[in-house]
Amino acid sequence: MNNDIKAVLYSKEQIDEVARNLGERITKDFEGKNPLVICVLKGAVLFMADIVRQIDTYCELDFMDVSSYGNNTVSSGEVKIIKDLDVSVKGRNVLIVEDIIDTGRTLASLVELLKGRDAASVKICTLLDKPDRRVKTVKPDYVGFEVPNEFVVGYGLDFQGHYRNLPYVGILKPEIYENI
Ligand code: 5GP
Ligand code: MG
Ligand code: MG
For 152-171, what is each residue's pLDDT tens digit?
999 999 999 999 999 999 99
Whose atoms come closest to the Cα of 41: which ligand?
2
pLDDT at 71 over 50: no
Q: What is the pLDDT of residue 177?
A: 81
Q: What is the pLDDT of residue 77?
A: 45
| Among the listed residues 39, 54, 35, 59, the one whose alpha carbon sits nearest the alpha carbon of residue 122 | 35
**Residue owning the nearest CA to atom 9 of ligand 1:** 100
| Among the listed residues 138, 134, 168, the one whose alpha carbon sits nearest the alpha carbon of residue 40 | 138
What is the arithmetic mean of pLDDT over 111-134? Answer: 95
Does the beta carbon of 127 lie inside 6 Å of ligand 1? Answer: no
pLDDT at 73 over 60: no
Instruction: Give the residue with greater pLDDT, 105 vs 118.
Output: 118
Q: What is the pLDDT of residue 69?
A: 52
pLDDT at 79 over 70: no
Per-residue pLDDT tens digits for 8-42: 999 999 999 999 999 999 999 999 999 999 999 99
Does the beta carbon of 124 lie inside 6 Å of ligand 1? Answer: no
Does the beta carbon of 96 lie inside 6 Å of ligand 1? Answer: no
Give the mutation target among 97, 157, 158 for probing the ligand 1 site: most ligand atoms within 8 A of CB. Answer: 157
The number of beta carbons lying within 10 Å of the beta carbon of residue 20 is 13
Measured CA to CA in angstroms, residue 17 lies from 48, 79, 88, 113, 145 at distances of 14, 32, 32, 32, 11
**Residue owning the nearest CA to atom 12 of ligand 1:** 43
Q: Into which CATH architecture does domain 12-150 fall?
A: 3-Layer(aba) Sandwich (3.40)
**What is the C-alpha to C-alpha distance for residues 36 and 60, in angstroms, rounded to an integer?**
5
**What is the C-alpha to C-alpha distance for residues 118 and 92, in angstroms, rounded to an integer?**
8
Measured CA to CA in angstroms, residue 20 lies from 3, 26, 27 at distances of 29, 10, 10
Domain boundaries, the chain: 12-150
Cis preceding-peptide flag for 42 (omega within 30 of 0): yes
What global pTM score does this model have?
Answer: 0.93
Measured CA to CA in angstroms, residue 57 lies from 3, 24, 89, 155 at distances of 40, 10, 19, 25
What is the arithmetic mean of pLDDT over 108-136? Answer: 95
Kindly state the percentage of the chain with pLDDT values over 70: 93
Q: What is the pLDDT of residue 11?
A: 98
Whose atoms come closest to the Cα of 70: which ligand?
3
What is the arithmetic mean of pLDDT over 133-144? Answer: 95
The number of beta carbons lying within 10 Å of the beta carbon of residue 22 is 23
> Is 7:148 a contact under the CB 8 Å cutoff?
no
Q: List residues with catalytic annotation.
A: 102
Q: How confident is the model at residue 44 (pLDDT cuts 50, 70, 90)?
A: very high
